[in-house]
Chain A
Amino acid sequence: SAVLNVDLQTDAMLQVDISDALSERDKVKFTVHTKSTLPNFKQNEFSVVRQHEEFIWLHDSFVENEEYAGYIIPPAPPRPDFDASREKLQKLGEGEGSMTKEEFTKMKQELEAEYLAIFKKTVAMHEVFLCRVAAHPVLRKDLNFHVFLEYNQDLSVRGKNKKEKLEDFFKNVVKSADGVLVAGVKDVDDFFEHEKTFLLEYHNRVKDASAKSDRMIRSHKNAADDINRIASSLYTLGTQDSTDLCKFFLKVSELFEKTRKIEARIAADEDLKLADLLKYYLRESQAAKDLLYRRSRALVDYENANKALDKARAKNRDVLQAETSQQLCCHKFEKISESAKQELIDFKTRRVAAFRKNLVELAELELKHAKGNLQLLQGCLGILKGNT
């Protein structure tokens, strides 16, 4: 869903959404649709086709931009992963001979529904990323972002070369080592000290909750699949002849066919409202941690610059250079601290709102489905008991 963003200063509007998507053999093509009154775009409404790697390129360009060091960079969407689903469809095709036509059709429909669900999810996650950028007062003005939205040719960012990949690898290694170092340093500012403690713990717990919710939902899907097969088996038993018992089995088979659809829906809704929510905040809390890390780095740089200045003054050599350097570091650190504070407050607001929305929707859906199940069971039992 699109988010309407109005820049109060220039009265310009920027609205981004993914209006279409196409799944090909090993890639997904997203149609990114933009509506904007910003003067720097050639038209007011336009679309381009982008692939996952181009989203990653955009995200990474934000991360690498020093100007954005003081912001929570919206987390990159995860890579579209149809491997498991594709494998299942392939296996189904291979095993076509060993099952009845009804079973095959049924399984095919289910796998196609699963594929479609994964597809919808990946579209949503890519869209959320773009909307977060478009909603950010500073990032929305980013030139790369505008290129991403408007340039209707291939951005040619696919497949980083080997050198770049190695650089990334080392960057991450250094970061995590530093991360450990910086985490141990107590901050002067209470707000940031609290945030650091909070985020470290929160991130770990969200990670755990995300993994556990995935496993729980997986079991739920498995149980729904079993009920589906049981329904088929009862149907076969019920069609053997037209005795009383066979009619009974047919009725029960019909019931299970319906309840298992509800169970599958429950699993899907839990996935959307709970698992995806946790996954998202896992990534966002990491992005918030990254911000804190960048601020800590800037603080360390500032402190080092102070020490260098003192040394220079003591030796009375390169003092001006040291002063300039120290001023730059100070400025950088203060700039980051100021925007970081606001970012972290916004993060909390967004998080609370998102959890509220999703938990309410989750509860409402669970209720809806339980009531649906109840109605089916009551109806069926009424008929079964009446005929006995």
Chain B
Amino acid sequence: MFHFHAQNLFQLEEEEEEEEEDKFDIFVSVKDPEKIGETTLPMFRNKTFTVRRRFSDFLGLYEKLSEKHGPNGFIVPPPPEKSLLGMTKVKVGKEDSSSTDFVERRRGALERYLQRVVNHPSLLQDPDVREFLEREELPRAVSTQALSGAGFLKMINKATDAVSKMTIKMNESDVWFEEKLQEVESADQQFRKLHALVESLVVHRKELSLNTASFAKSAAMLGSAEDNTALSRALSQLAEVEDKMEQLHQEQAANDTFTFAEMIADYIRLLGAVRGSFDHRMKAWQRWQDAQSMLQKKRETEAKLLWANKPDKLQLAKEEIAEWEAKVTQYERDFERVSATVRKEVIRFEREKTKNCKRQIIKYLECLLQSQQQLIKYWEAFLPEAKAIA
């Protein structure tokens, strides 16, 4: 279960132009994950409030938002996937670093998920979002199976199949969409590759940390066996330096994970949502096309009936034509509306992505920099000890 605070909820104004900065004064944070079963009282303050939510509640919220806003072309931010392996370890009570990492990754991902939802001007207006943030107890979300990792992937794959089949049929006025989709797909590929590489780095840094600790102990043992006093002391100082290095490597691995790898994981999920919005646009187009075909069929029927001289059926046919003409107009308008929304959403997404990626990478590099400064301190302290050997 997760606690979060929602501070300073304000009324919002309509966005005027698509380039305008989103201005919100709502801040969410997700803290203190606990296993189900423990009790903590939620706190109430003026414009700050805290509620407890289960992981499935987050998934349930996504499902609702995605059903409502997805078809209109909105990019609905996705939450992190269900993870059978990760959660099993946590439930069993395995207190090792991999399960604490998993819990922290999930906590961070949920926080960022919520932040993205409330940062979105249209989504914040949704009553389900308000309810999620404010209501004390939420009824259990039932149908969250579709949102497991595999289900998610299936949904994305279905969308891409549909898209790739239809792109060929669209006319040139949609070149922007075609190009964007290609960009999104190639970015997705690259991000996945990058994610795997960063995860590999995390593994190796953790190994390095363990091996450094092991070496430190060994060096200390060697130092105590050494019978030259100054060398003995220098060796135990070396052991201390290596101990500190172990700590640095651990911190680096955490930096790699939470600042870098998790950012990339977020964007892999978001790119999936972007492709989803393209898919919805395609569906809207298809509905319009289908309506046009239907209208054509009805007109052909009418023509046949004119020759056949059946006034009753003819009347029916005329009514149906009117009905379908209206639908064609409606669906065309829908398609244009959805296209405009998708376009606006994609531009917004890219702007946010640029801002976020830059910020996170700078944070990551600053941590690396601090690490080097520490390193310098440690070795500078050691050097005189080494020189003192006689």
Contacts and interface: CB of A to CB of B under 8 A. Distances in A.
A331 B231 CA distance: 36
A216 B235 CA distance: 17
B225 A205 contact: yes
A310 to B, nearest CB: 38
Q: Please list the 8 inter-chain residue pairs (A to B) with the smallest Cβ-Cβ separation, ordered nearest first.
A: A219-B208, A356-B389, A226-B201, A359-B386, A216-B211, A212-B215, A374-B372, A209-B218
B204 A377 contact: no
Contact of A359 (B225, B234, B375): B234
Interface residues of A, number: 56
Contacts, number: 158
A230 B198 contact: yes
Contact of A360 (B230, B354, B386): B386
A215 B211 contact: yes
B204 A229 contact: no
Given A352-B390, A371-B376, 18 more contacts: A208-B221, A209-B218, A209-B219, A219-B207, A226-B200, A230-B194, A234-B194, A236-B190, A237-B191, A240-B186, A245-B353, A356-B231, A363-B382, A363-B386, A373-B372, A374-B369, A384-B361, A388-B358
Q: How large is the interface on B (under 10, 10 to 19, 20 to 34, 35 or more residues)?
A: 35 or more
Contacts of A219: 204-205, 207-208, 211-212
Interface in B316-351: 350
Interface centre among A212, A213, A252, A380 (most CB of B within 10 A): A212
A138 interface: no
Contacts of A371: 372, 376
B231 A352 contact: yes
B250 to A, nearest CB: 13
Contact of A248 (B200, B235, B357, B375): B357
A223 interface: yes
Residue of A201, A219, A236, A367 most packed against chain B (CB within 10 A): A219
Contacts of A205: 218, 221-222, 225
B225 A198 contact: yes
A312 B226 CA distance: 46
B129 interface: no
Interface string B85-121: 0000000000000000000000000000000000000
B215 A215 contact: yes
Interface in A363-388: 363-364, 366-367, 370-371, 373-374, 377-378, 380-381, 384-385, 388
A50 B281 CA distance: 76
Q: Which applies to chain A's interface (DSSP): helix, strand, loop or mixed?
A: helix
A370 B241 CA distance: 14
A327 interface: no
A252 B194 CA distance: 13
B238 interface: yes
A201 B379 CA distance: 28
A367 B358 contact: no
B228 interface: yes
A230 B215 contact: no
B87 to A, nearest CB: 28
8 contacts: A202-B225, A212-B214, A222-B204, A233-B190, A237-B194, A244-B354, A381-B369, A388-B362
B234 A355 contact: yes
A167 B326 CA distance: 102
A226 B197 contact: yes
Given A216-B215, A245-B358, A384-B358, A355 B197 contact: no
